[in-house]
Amino acid sequence: MRNLQLVAVLYMVLSMLSYQISASFAKQLIATLDPLTVTILRLCFATILVSIMFRSWKIISKLKELKWRDLLCYSAALGCMNILFYTSLGKLPQGIAVGLEFIGPLGLALLSIKQRSDYIWVAFAILGIALMVPWHDAQAQHFSYIGAACALGAGFFWALYIYYGHRVVQQNIGMHALTIAIGLSALTLLPFGLWNNAPVLLDTQYWGKALVIALMATAIPYALDLMALKRLTKLSYGTLSSLAPALAALAGLVLLHERISLIQWVALACIMVASIGVTLRGGKA
């Protein structure tokens, strides 16, 4: 049994690494294209991948019966989250962008706090944000306040994505909801992308890279997560997910040669401690 749990942990770590490596690749592509184009390309290919992965054509006959208000909100949150996060990636080191985005779901979890002793996790989260910003010299640290605002905005929509995701789950359509959400986001953004930069969006030379990004950010992580969840409790899964900001910083360091200051590493650690603390507290509750 212990070996099975270790394998599940390995699946989880590989899932997060796959996602963060995809973010590094996306950032390299954003340097050539623009965040909107990269977002649309990723969502379009992700729609195809998850449709095949979950055989989502089975849901076509049930589309009329679905509660579309929650699905549309779920899809809008997903689309806004992706475009804001990719915009922040173009302006911030990857570890900082992911760390600030992580405040969204963390803030949603902090809203459930009922005991005064748990406000220590709020303090850790606030300290993490405060330390992450190089107040003395933003330019020297390659820090953008606009990028930070986009990352926090992505985190806000991530929280909405989780909230509406819980509501969509009640419709009992499984992972097909994700296919619908990604597909709707792609179709909604596509006209704006064509108006903004149609020649680049339709240039097939970028499609291969976009497919790899979609594969590593969508198909591979979801497949690994599903295998991990068969052997891990929600508490273990949530705790391991708290490692995401550190893995993002490491991916940025190795793949993009992005260096963040010691204080910013401490900031990421504060956010991770807050996330782990809230997860453990929630598990006990």
* Reduced 3-state DSSP string for 215-276: HHHHHHHHHHHHHHHCCCCHHHHHHHHCCHHHHHHHHHHHHHCCCCCHHHHHHHHHHHHHHH
What local confidence, expressed as pLDDT, does residue 77 receive? 94
The answer to whether 38 and 210 are in contact (CB under 8 A) is yes
Q: Check residue 285 and give its pLDDT.
A: 52
pLDDT tens for the 285 residues of the chain, in order: 556 667 888 888 899 999 999 999 999 999 899 999 999 999 999 999 999 988 888 787 777 777 788 889 999 999 999 999 999 999 999 999 999 998 888 888 777 766 777 778 888 888 888 888 887 766 666 788 999 999 999 999 999 988 888 888 777 777 788 888 999 999 999 999 999 889 989 999 999 999 999 999 988 988 888 788 777 776 677 777 888 899 899 999 999 989 888 889 999 999 888 888 877 765 555
| Alpha helices (H) along the chain | 2-30, 35-54, 68-89, 94-101, 103-110, 119-132, 145-169, 176-201, 207-214, 220-229, 234-241, 244-256, 262-284
d(CA 197, CA 207): 15
Q: What is the pLDDT of residue 215?
A: 94
For position 88, what pLDDT does the model report? Answer: 95
Q: What is the pLDDT of residue 234?
A: 66
> 104-141: b or e for each residue (b if 16 or more CB lie within 10 Å)?
bbbbbbbeebeeeebeebbebbebbbebbbbeeeeeeb
State the residue range of the domain holding 175.
1-283
Domain count, the chain: 1
pLDDT of 284: 53
The whole-number pLDDT of residue 155 equals: 93
pLDDT score, position 124: 86
pLDDT of residue 184: 93
Residue 133, by phi and psi: left (phi above 0), alpha (psi -120 to 50) or beta?
A: beta
Please give the pLDDT value at position 3.
65
Interior CA angle at 147 toward 143 and 154, to 5°? 135
CB 164 within 8 A of CB 77: yes
Quickly tell me which residue has 């997860």 as its tokens.
279
